[in-house]
Structure 1
Amino acid sequence: MDKSKSIDHQLRATWQAVAKMYNEQASKHDSTMAMAFVLLNIDYENGTPSTSLGPLMGMEPTSLSRILKSMEDKGLILREKNPEDGRSVIIKLTEFGKEKREISKGHVYQFNNKVRERLTDKEIQSFFKVTEIINKLIAEKKIYGDISSQAV
């Protein structure tokens, strides 16, 4: 199959370009795209339970733990005991973390606005429809069935 006509190749190549762009911006602020993503997913006022962050972002617990440790070392977040469940921890933004979150938010808005300047509303709706269908097919295991039982 021609790579230029392969849906998965286009998705992967585009995501790699976007990730590289975001990482270049994040590095100017002594951060990474992953850290910025975490900052954007923590509730600004109340914090977010650490157990909710991984699933919210589609991130594995070990990767998230490593990122949270680094963010804590940089003074972006702090961990507090969850008053509703003593076994879990709430991740909260520090004032510095809130400042960095606003910078990250600005970069996301800038990216979205620049892309939207080049597309019609219909093209944007089509893009979202395509990604929705892909995600639904995968979630419902309608591409390969139970992929865990098949060799890749």
Structure 2
Amino acid sequence: MQLQRLERHPRTFGDAGPLTPSEIHTIDAIGYDGGILMSELATRLSVTKGAVTQIIGRLESKEFVKRSPHPDDSRAVIISLTEKGKSAYRVHEELHLNFYKELSAQLDQKEIEIFEKCIQKLNEFLQK
């Protein structure tokens, strides 16, 4: 139940304002440098191209991403982060780093290995 609540609950990432988990993870999947094709982004996120189009539309209206034509393929669109998107990316990355620092300060090496194994098993289960 807690996981379901977390998935729907927006969080604020610095000056970026509230973003849902799917929005911030899309920003994370686009990456800080360069751009990515919509089709590659759909593959990276394991969602349909239609789902990516919807979320990119929301992120574009919030000014986190921009679309650019592909230089060699007129049918392809490249998605990249705006400065606001890069700011959200950095805050999200820092959040993860702080989480792991705090976790490693509270757990010994064996407990960290068990935790990582549990996360791996959970990911495998969720991908089925």
The TM-score bracket by the shorter chain reads 0.7 to 0.9
> Partner of 1:49 in structure 2?
37
Mapped partners of 2:121, 2:88: distance in 1 = 34
SS of aligned partner of 1:90: strand
In the superposition, relative to structure 1, how do residues 136 and 35 fare at CA in structure 2: closer, same or farther (>3 Å)?
closer
Cα 1:59–1:112 shift into 2, 3 Å: farther
Shift of 1:52: 0.9
CA distance in 1, matches of 2:21, 2:59: 12
Match of 1:80 among 68, 73, 90: 68
Which has more radius of gyration? Answer: 1
1:66 has 2:42 as partner: no
Relative contact order higher in (CA < 8 Å, ≥ 6 apart): 2
Residue 23 of structure 1 is matched in structure 2 by 10
Structure 2: runs of 5 or more not aligned:
none
Q: Which blocks of at least 5 consecutive residues in structure 1 are unaligned?
A: 1-12, 142-152
Following superposition, the deviation at residue 61 of structure 1 comes to 2.8
> Which amino acid in the other structure matches residue 23 of structure 1?
P
Secondary structure of the 1:87 match is coil
Deviation (angstroms), 1:63:
2.6
Aligned counterparts of 1:104 and 1:137: Cα–Cα separation in 2? 25
Query: Normalized against structure 1, the TM-score is what?
Result: 0.66
Does the C-alpha gap of structure 1 residues 106 and 61 become closer, same or farther in structure 2, counting only changes over 3 Å?
same
CA distance in 1, matches of 2:2, 2:104: 16
Which of 107, 115, 138 is the matching residue for 2:95? 107
SS at match of 1:36: helix
Separation in 2 of the partners of 1:126 and 1:17? 25
Measure the CA separation in 2 of the matches of 1:109 and 1:35.
19
Count, aligned residues:
127
Q: 1:2-35 CA deviation, whole Å, 9 max, x = no partner?
A: xxxxxxxxxxx56446546x73345x82322211
From 18, 23, 36, the counterpart of 1:35:
23
Runs of 4+ in 1 over 4 A off after TM superposition: 133-139
Contact 2:38/2:49 (CA < 8 Å) preserved in 1? Answer: no
Q: TM-score, normalised by structure 2?
A: 0.76
Deviations, residues 55-101 of structure 1 (Å, cap 9, x unaligned): 21223333322211011111111111122433221101111211121
